[in-house]
Amino acid sequence: MRLGRILLYVRDIEETAQFYQRFFGYEVSRRDDDRIVELLGDGGANIMLHPAARGQRLGQSTVKLVFDVEDVDAFCRDSAAAGLQFGPVHRAEGYAFANAKDPSGTPIQVSSRAFRLSI
């Protein structure tokens, strides 16, 4: 079993879809008869974007999307040049990570944890 999809409730589907496409390489998939836009990854979990209800508060969730990147510092520099600012890069037990938010306020993180060497 693997995590196949993550559902995000968003106010602006187009802006959010472009964000994940531009910065994380997701392919946008949509059907005329479906209000959900699915973002297809390269083997990991897909992201489904669902229109948020009027009273739904955005950015207050217990979900954080973590993207595995081998070089967090380089990824953050490249992202900043393209318009996405991450917070400071933190160092932990053999890996690094940094945090940001998508256009709807969903917490995201880039982390090299998946690439740390086992001892």
pLDDT reported for residue 114: 82
Adjacent-strand bridge partners of 10: 51
pLDDT of 77 strictly over 80:
yes
- Region 88-117: mean pLDDT is 89
The pTM (predicted TM-score) of the whole model is 0.74
The pLDDT tens digits for 96-108 are 999 999 998 888 9
* d(C-alpha 79, C-alpha 87), whole Å: 12
Which domains, ranges and CATH numbers included, belong to the chain? 5-115 (3.10.180.10)
Question: Three-state DSSP class for 15?
Answer: helix
Cβ partners under 8 Å of residue 70, min gap 6: 112, 115
